[in-house]
Amino acid sequence: MGYTFRENPEIWNEASPTNYVDENSPPFLFINSSINRFHAGRDILVDKLNKYGTYSEIHTFPDTPHPFWFFHPWFNHTVKLVTDFLNKVFRYQNEY
């Protein structure tokens, strides 16, 4: 974003999805690597989603690099998680 958080916190806050959660937010699927620094803001976002009753799932793959979902042996499992999530969300929406 061209700046560190300390240099320009406004631009970081503007880019943060945690600042845009409301009753109209869609369901979220979090597929995480094992590197905690890439989970920044996730728990805050989940708490806000829960406040509005918005469905979310978190899946963390142990012992993985950050862009793991592009590679074997994680790619197929990642595709399955996404497919299962979308099927669940769309099935739920069609029931109501």
pLDDT in tens, 1-26: 899 999 999 998 999 989 999 999 99
Q: What is the pLDDT of residue 96?
A: 53
pTM: 0.79
Q: Are 42 and 30 in contact (CB under 8 A)?
A: yes
Quote the number of domains for the chain: 1
What does DSSP assign to residue 54? -
Please give the residue range of the domain that contains residue 70. 9-95
What does DSSP assign to residue 61? -
Phi, psi dihedral angles at 12 (to 5 degrees):
-70, -40
Residue 29 resides in a domain: yes
Residues in the chain: 96
Residue 42 resides in a domain: yes
Q: Are 46 and 58 in contact (CB under 8 A)?
A: yes
